[in-house]
Amino acid sequence: MRPLLSLLLLFPLFPLPVLPLPTANQLLALADAAPILTSSPYPLPPSLDPWYRAPDAVAWQPTPPGTVLKVRAAPFLNRTIGNALTAYQILYRTTDSQHDPSWAVTTLLVPVWQARCSTTATHLCAHAVLSYQIPYDTCNVDASPSYGLNVVGEPYGEIRDALGLGWFVSVPDYEGPLASYAAGLQAGHATLDSVRAVMQVAGVFGLRMDVAKVALWGYSGGALASEWAAELAGQYAPKLVIAGVALGGLTPNVTSVTDYINGGECAGLIPAGLLGIASQHPEAYWWILSRLKPATAAKFLSVRYMTAAQSIAAFWGENIYDYFVGGWADLRAARVMKMMYNVDGYMGYHGVPRMPVFVYKAVNDELSKVDDTDALVDRFCKVGANILYHRNTAGGHNEELVNGRQRAFAWLSSVLDGSYDEVYSTMGCTVVNVTYNIAPYVPWLNL
């Protein structure tokens, strides 16, 4: 008998012991100690950056969702985002749409005024965290916020303004490592777990953990992630306390949105959305590939390397169903597609928000029918949710991003500073038509 075989018989194979992962504080200390090795303000994109990889699966997969796995300083964000004192990127454990372990990245920004915080001046320390979900609307992982914030800065100035109010701001790459645009479960899980990860390290920067409140805010694609997080929180993160969720320009039904925008100026969001959501459903993904017409398949698949603005420009006004052999039926009638949509595409079926919710939407929204949002709000209201819903009679989808901004900030401020019950109704739902028209017309390509 060979010596190795005899040893194996004498000592049966047992799994090697798994070394414990570093704590969040240890990872943060290592990040602060690590030198900045480049003078370039532009880091590597996620697809090429070794940091955007989870540690050894044996070590991290069994950890609880929200576990901090990696931390690194992001010093260049001070150049692109106003009111930021320091910034860090946090890679954390989350759960994908198949309920398997996965990971994602969030960017944590500390407000400038936190420099006044000390153990002897705790009244000057921040007491709020805003999880701000950017609508990045792409199946290209290199267009994730953690990279884009470094390269082009923030799109709307809302991170700067939130930091100016003294809030910590967390900006998650909620689409995850596969850029799973429009996949609701993936986005909701990643958003909730980004908050859990941030709360593991925020105390080191002086956040008043004893009184700290957390709120979520997102518009359009960012509202998709925020709404799914609100739905899932009760079952997925029952111990995580969220003070409130602000949702603008909601898109409650992905198939309804697809039909609504097909052939119009936003048709380019459809290829990105199909490939994004299908990245969580391999059978549906391969079905989509198999049904593409060979002559135009390359153009359809080119969206994998585009930003949202690029995909909108590339497919402007096109009938996306024409890219498929069976047209509309290929995307709607196939069993694998129906299963995918049922899991990841429809809001309102995975739980009821337990926290106050502010919903604002343009009645004339050209991306998603207001009727779909009306139905979602009504569904939640009938089972006891606390919702303030503003239906704006002015503007469309892009204009409401601006028209609703100050109302969203005012509402978020109330839930984060504890004055909510003094200003808003804490029971049931309030649905009102409003008219706020402060935004100029905003073309899609200028978003």
Q: What is the pLDDT of residues 242-272, one digit of tens each?
A: 999 999 999 999 999 999 999 999 999 999 9
- For 317, counting Cβ atoms within 10 Å of its Cβ (0-12 exposed, 13-18 middle, 19+ buried), the class is exposed
**Identity (one letter) of the amino acid at 43?**
P
* Dihedral angle computed from the Cα positions of residues 313, 317, 321 and 324, in that order, rounded to the nearest 10 degrees: -50
Task: Let me know: does 93 contact 66? Beta carbons within 8 Å.
Answer: yes
CATH of residue 277's domain is 1.10.260.130
How many Å apart are CA 171 and CA 108, to the nearest integer? Answer: 7
Q: Indicate the residue among 295, 322, 344 that finishes a domain.
A: 344
How many Å apart are CA 125 and CA 360, to the nearest integer? Answer: 31
Domain-located, residue 248: no
The verdict on 323 and 281 lying in the same domain is yes
The verdict on 145 and 188 lying in the same domain is yes
The verdict on 390 and 278 lying in the same domain is no
Q: Indicate the residue among 344, 369, 390 that finishes a domain.
A: 344
Domain-located, residue 189: yes
The verdict on 157 and 126 lying in the same domain is yes
Task: Let me know: does 191 contact 171? Beta carbons within 8 Å.
Answer: no
Beta bridge partners of 172: 106
Domain-located, residue 279: yes
The verdict on 234 and 275 lying in the same domain is no
pLDDT of res. 42: 63
The verdict on 74 and 210 lying in the same domain is yes
Read off the pLDDT band of 279 (50, 70, 90): very high
The verdict on 182 and 308 lying in the same domain is no
Decide the pairing of beta strands 244-248 and 213-219. Answer: parallel
pLDDT of res. 151: 86
Q: What angle do CA 410, 414, 420 make, to 5 degrees?
A: 130
Domain-located, residue 5: no
Q: Indicate the residue among 297, 320, 344 that finishes a domain.
A: 344
Please state the pTM of the whole predicted model: 0.92
- 54 in helix, strand or coil? coil
pLDDT digit string, tens, across residues 123-177: 889 999 999 999 999 999 999 999 999 888 898 999 999 999 999 999 999 999 9
pLDDT for 11 beyond 80: no
Task: Let me know: does 276 contact 180? Beta carbons within 8 Å.
Answer: yes
How many Å apart are CA 180 and CA 279, to the nearest integer? Answer: 6
Q: Which has the closest alpha carbon to 111: 120, 95, 98, 124? A: 124
pLDDT digit string, tens, across residues 33-63: 666 555 555 688 999 999 999 988 788 999 9
Catalytic residues: 220, 365, 397
Residue 280 φ/ψ region, left for φ over 0, alpha for ψ in the -120 to 50 degree band, beta for the rest? alpha
Domain range for residue 385?
357-446
The verdict on 276 and 193 lying in the same domain is no
pLDDT of res. 1: 45
How many Å apart are CA 394 and CA 372, to the nearest integer? Answer: 18
Domain count, the chain: 3
- Look at the alpha carbons of 302, 308, 312, 313 in this order and tell me if their dihedral is positive or negative: negative
Task: Let me know: does 292 contact 300? Beta carbons within 8 Å.
Answer: yes
The verdict on 127 and 156 lying in the same domain is yes
